[in-house]
Amino acid sequence: MTQSSDIRVAVSTVILTLRRTDDGRAVLALPLVLRTREPFADQWALPGGWLTPTESPVDASARTLAETTGLAPSYLEQLYAFGAVDRSPTRVVSIVYWALLRQDDVTAQSAAHRASGAAPENVKWFDVDELPQLAFDHTEIVEYALWRLRNKVGYSRVAQGFLPAEFTLAELREAYEAILGRTLDPANFRRQVEAAGNLLPTDRFRTGSHRPARLYRDNTDVELADRGPLGPEETSTR
């Protein structure tokens, strides 16, 4: 394959949220953009765009997300740089971020984007276990992001990035189950979470068809996740 000697840099973002299926299960979902031009016209791809000379990769990720989906994540972290020689007809290195967004923020931000008249028609949300064929190497990128999330949830509080400021232990367990793809024992989960000391109980309860459930909040003295060696210019929380 003949390629230009120029190497272009792009950014893409795997932005994840929790949403409920028709049968009430919480599942991971992400937005994809239907490409309108070659290469891979009429195929779904991750939101993204080109890195400009005047912005950092994390700023470019936030900008392209806003432009393509109207979304601003609650958690954004650099995932990896994908640069296989044959990943695109021209030489492109993609700096990929992964982001978390609460479902109520998805609903509010999407509504505001539609009301502004800027909402594109080529964006659609998919459950992560029901993805279509993706353009470029974006299937590999999504798989890597999910692997990263499932590993990170074991040593960080990243699951709380999907939840509102106050939540029940059952809601937190559902987030863990959606991330890990398996059912957790409620009693064991409660013991482990309470022993970790990362949550603070409130004096408020959620009422419904079942008995009232106590609401918890994050201990803000503890970081949302261990970000490793990356500095604040490469990670952000909102």
| Residue 107: inside a domain | yes
Q: List per-block mean pLDDT (blocks of 10 residues) for the chain, which spans 238 residues.
A: 69 94 92 93 95 94 90 85 92 94 88 74 92 96 95 85 92 94 93 85 86 88 51 41
- The confidence score (pLDDT) of residue 119 equals 60
Domain count, the chain: 2
As separate numbers, helices (DSSP H) first and strands (DSSP E) second, the chain gives 5, 11
Range of the domain at 56: 8-152
138 burial (CB, 10 Å; 0-12 / 13-18 / 19+) is buried
pLDDT of residue 237: 39
Q: What is the pTM of this model?
A: 0.85
Instruction: Classify residue 148 by its DSSP letter.
Output: H
Based on the domain organization, do 126 and 166 belong to the same domain? no
According to DSSP H, which parts of 44-182 are helical? 57-69, 103-115, 138-152, 169-180
The reported pLDDT for the residue numbered 171 is: 94
Residue-level pLDDT at 195: 84
Q: Is 54 helix (H, G, I), strand (E, B) or coil?
A: coil
DSSP-derived letter for residue 169 is: H
The CATH number assigned to the domain holding 88 equals 3.90.79.10
- Are residues 19 and 86 both part of a single domain? yes
- Tell me what pLDDT residue 236 has: 44
